[in-house]
Structure 1
Amino acid sequence: MKRSVLYIEDNEKIGSWVKDELQQRGFSVQWLLSGEGAENEIHQHEVVILDIMLPGLDGFTVGRRLKKAAPAVPILLLSARTAIDDKVEGLQFADDYVTKPFHTDELVARLEVLIRRSGGTSSTRIALGNHIEVDTELQMVYDKDTGAEIILTGKQHQILMYFLRHPNQVLPKEQIYEAVWGEAYITGDKTLMVHIRRLRQKLERNPDAPEIIETLKGIGYRVKL
């Protein structure tokens, strides 16, 4: 299930970049250029990203209205302002505060924490294909058809979790190897390929025609959510 974000940002360049980044990581994003009427949209979402510098109603005013309309939905403020007074005012209603410029990895991590704290997701389980579920909280993998846990080796588990941290992204084999093994990839090394094949044997209904871990020939792998 995609996590749903209401994103309010008037800068079209920044807004387009953030929306694309979040969607690539498995979020569903509704992007508004102003806060007008945002309180009518908030109930459809699990978390709000709100820029302070907005045309018309400023972010502080919008944020207070949103919190009144939906107290349980967490709000993450974005601002180029670094003044303590602004942070203090923002945190009167917001649940977190990120200063521009920021890295999307940090933004995603903060969103995940806010959603988890608020109980916004009905489950911590991510569906892979039609028969696999991964409980990201317990770090366990299940076959939905039988309810049985699928036991992975340490490296298989690390590879799968790395895919889930980068959903829908094409990941070069070099990047995966270096992230999981913590050392430089040597051209021609088959270690990752062997582990992917064994992981597919545990996850895929037909490992020879994989539906969960896709191979993009000459590039790398991708897991779609």
Structure 2
Amino acid sequence: MGFTILHIEDDEEIGSWVSEFFTERRYKVIWLKSGHHALEHMEQMDIVIMDIMLPGLDGYTVGQRMKQKFPEIPIVLLTARTSIEDKLQGLAFADDYMTKPYHPDELEARIQILLRRSGAVSSDLIQLNHLRIDRKANRILNEETNTEILLTGKQFHIFMYLLDHLNQILTQRQIYEAVWNDPYIKGDKTLMVHIRHMREKIELDPSDPKIIETIRGIGYRLKI
């Protein structure tokens, strides 16, 4: 199961694509176009992402009321307001403040950080698209099929090294030397072959990988 997000946004286009983005990544999204009934949904939420400029009650008022009643639930403010005064006012109660435009991958990364801090996500349990990774048990579960993904020793070592450097671009040399403990020889295809076989196991569509990204001419990145 993914986590539940309360998304408060009155703009139809923004609200739609943010909701679709997180739904595709196995979050449950409750989308409201105003904050009037937000408190009624809070008990089932793991995190809130909301605009400041809302019809009726503004995001500052709604967010303050949420934080007073549900202080443990993280709030991310998403807004076009960039002044330091607005940021300080928002961060007086919110846990993060992002200005528009923003990239959804960055928003998801920030949400994962806040979920870990709040205790909703164990540091041993990581949700990565359709994968649920239990680092303590060394298990990777495909939630689409509800089956465990079995990697070879080298594949698992590569995957965990990429996971330890989540969202970072790593060179082929860095990965090879960390996993094989041998000097990397330029042009060696060993790592590339292992990555290809890993994608066949962990990607929904290996021909269009969404988890292990190839950075042309450099190496790879595990994306969230």
Instruction: Give the TM-score of the pair, scaled to structure 1.
Output: 0.66
Query: Amino acid of the residue matched to residue 84 of structure 1?
Result: I
Q: 1:192 to 1:52 in 2, by over 3 A?
A: same
Query: Amino acid of the residue matched to residue 57 of structure 2?
Result: L
Structure 2 counterpart SS, 1:220: coil
Could you say which residue in structure 1 is the equivalent of 2:134?
Answer: 135
Deviations 1:63-113 (A, max 9, x none): 011112211001011111111111111112111111111111221111111
1:73 touches 1:120 (CA, 8 Å); kept in 2? Answer: no
Matches within 5 A, 1:75-224: 75-121=75-121, 124-126=124-126, 134-135=133-134, 141-142=138-139, 151-153=153-155, 154-157=157-160, 161=163, 181=172, 192=192, 194-197=194-197, 199=198, 213-215=203-205, 219-221=207-209
Shift of 1:151: 4.1
Q: Distance in 1 between matches of 2:190 and 2:25?
A: 28
Matches within 5 A, 1:57-68: 57-68=57-68
Q: 1:24 to 1:152 in 2, by over 3 A?
A: farther
Q: Distance in 1 between matches of 2:70 and 2:82?
A: 27
Could you say which residue in structure 1 is the equivalent of 2:180?
Answer: none
Match status 1:36 vs 2:33: no
Instruction: Give the TM-score of the pair, scaled to structure 2.
Output: 0.66
Q: Distance in 1 between matches of 2:74 and 2:93?
A: 9
Q: Distance in 2 between matches of 1:143 and 1:105?
A: 22
Could you say which residue in structure 2 is the equivalent of 1:172?
Answer: none
Tell me: higher relative CO, structure 1 or 2? Use CA pairs within 8 A at least 6 residues apart. Answer: 1
Q: 1:150 to 1:67 in 2, by over 3 A?
A: farther
Q: Distance in 2 between matches of 1:17 and 1:179?
A: 30
Query: Amino acid of the residue matched to residue 155 of structure 1?
Result: I
2:116 touches 2:123 (CA, 8 Å); kept in 1? Answer: no
Q: Distance in 2 between matches of 1:64 and 1:127?
A: 29
2:116 touches 2:122 (CA, 8 Å); kept in 1? Answer: no
Q: Please list every run of 5 or more consecutive structure 1 residues that lacks an aligned counterpart in the other structure.
A: 167-177, 183-188, 201-206
Q: Distance in 2 between matches of 1:143 and 1:214?
A: 14
Q: 1:135 to 1:15 in 2, by over 3 A?
A: same
1:3 touches 1:121 (CA, 8 Å); kept in 2? Answer: no
Shift of 1:4: 1.5
Could you say which residue in structure 2 is the equivalent of 1:186?
Answer: none
Q: 1:85 to 1:127 in 2, by over 3 A?
A: closer
1:141 touches 1:151 (CA, 8 Å); kept in 2? Answer: no
Q: CA RMSD in A?
A: 3.6
Q: Please list every run of 5 or more consecutive structure 2 residues that lacks an aligned counterpart in the other structure.
A: 142-146, 174-188, 212-224
1:156 touches 1:196 (CA, 8 Å); kept in 2? Answer: no
Count of residues in correspondence between the two structures: 183
Q: 1:8 to 1:127 in 2, by over 3 A?
A: closer
